Amino acid sequence: MSPNRVSTEEPDLLGPGLFRFLKDLKAHNDRAWFTEQKARYESEARDPLLRFIAALSGPLSGVSRHFIADPRPSGGSMFRIYRDTRFAKDKSPYKTHLAAHFPHRSVSAGGVHGPGFYLHLEPGGSFAGGGLWHPDPDSLFKVRQAIVAKPTAWKAIRKSGLEIEGEALKRLPQGFDAAHPCAEDLKLKDFYITSSFTDAQVLAPDFVDLVTEAYRTASPLVRFLCKSLDLPW
């Protein structure tokens, strides 16, 4: 076990019922089925994830004390299972994954669009990471300015082998120098790093430790983003 790991003795935080439920939901994604299975959703999916969020709070504070793991069933870190279908072609009413977001404590940090850490649980497609997703124009401009002003610090993140993901423009944003050594990264519209997990890893007793390690891996990027936006790390 890595010396940075925080051991946990709670093997039943996330049980096999979690993925069984999500697979069944994908096969029966309609309101009538979900209504009949709501108690199962709560006991096998929602409540285990809320317990996991609570267990992650301490380890997350060891990465940075400025990020929140809130285990409340409503208004906390866990995303709702219900999809917003108002403008979507796909009218399926429910998400077929569970997710949680751990935002910066600053009320002005942008919520899900500000610097933070993320957890996504889906059969065959679970991952965790951190960064900045779909920031507002002002925040995006500040990050690009920070990359221009601190190319050495930005290159250090790149040279560490971390793969920074996200959507990107085809052309350099107006007002930025194409000759800048980090010009390609100035095209990015998102900045995040993720680590993938197998289903077995998600259900293992040390999954809190694995997620914490994923957040530590992403922390150099999240630290840079926070400083770019004048947020404490």
**Tell me: the pLDDT tens digits for 173-199?**
999 999 999 999 999 999 999 999 999
Residues 6+ apart with CB under 8 A from 82: 93, 94, 95
First vs last Cα of the chain: how many Å apart?
27
Per-residue confidence (pLDDT) for residue 12, from 0 to 100 = 63
| Contacts with 162 (C-beta within 8 Å, 6 or more apart), sequence order | 193, 217, 218, 220, 221
Q: Distance between CA atoms of 86 and 96, rounded to whole angstroms?
A: 18
- Which structural domain range is residue 130 located in? 17-228
DSSP state of 81: S
Is 178 within a domain?
A: yes
- Coil, strand or helix: which one is 169? coil
H helices within 37-175, ranges in order? 38-41, 47-63, 137-149, 151-159
Computed on alpha carbons and rounded to an integer, the radius of gyration of the chain in Å comes to 19
Kindly state the tokens that stand for 185.
Answer: 């990264």
Contacts of 227 (CB under 8 A, 6+ apart): 146, 233
Assign 67 to helix, strand or coil: strand
Q: How confident is the model at residue 1 (pLDDT cuts 50, 70, 90)?
A: very low
pLDDT confidence of residue 10: 46
Examine residue 1 and state whether it is found in any structural domain, yes or no: no
Instruction: State the CB neighbour count (10 A cutoff) for residue 208.
Output: 22
74 strand-pairing partners: none
Count of structural domains, the chain:
1
Choice among 35-44, 81-90, 223-232 with the minimum mean pLDDT = 81-90
- 100 SS3 class: strand
pLDDT of res. 162: 83
Any idea which residue has 């790991």 for tokens? 5
Q: Is 34 part of a structural domain of the chain? A: yes
Predicted TM-score (pTM) of the model is 0.89
In a domain, 8, yes or no: no
**Backbone phi, then psi, for 132, in 5-degree steps?**
-135, 120
Q: Tell me, yes or no, whether 77 lies in a domain.
A: yes
Residues 6+ apart with CB under 8 A from 167: 188, 189, 190
CATH code of the domain covering residue 142: 3.30.930
For residue 11, is it within any domain?
Answer: no
pLDDT band at 9 (very low <50, low <70, confident <90, very high): very low
Does 93 fall in a domain? Answer: yes
Average predicted confidence (pLDDT) for the chain: 92
- Report yes or no on 141 lying in a domain: yes
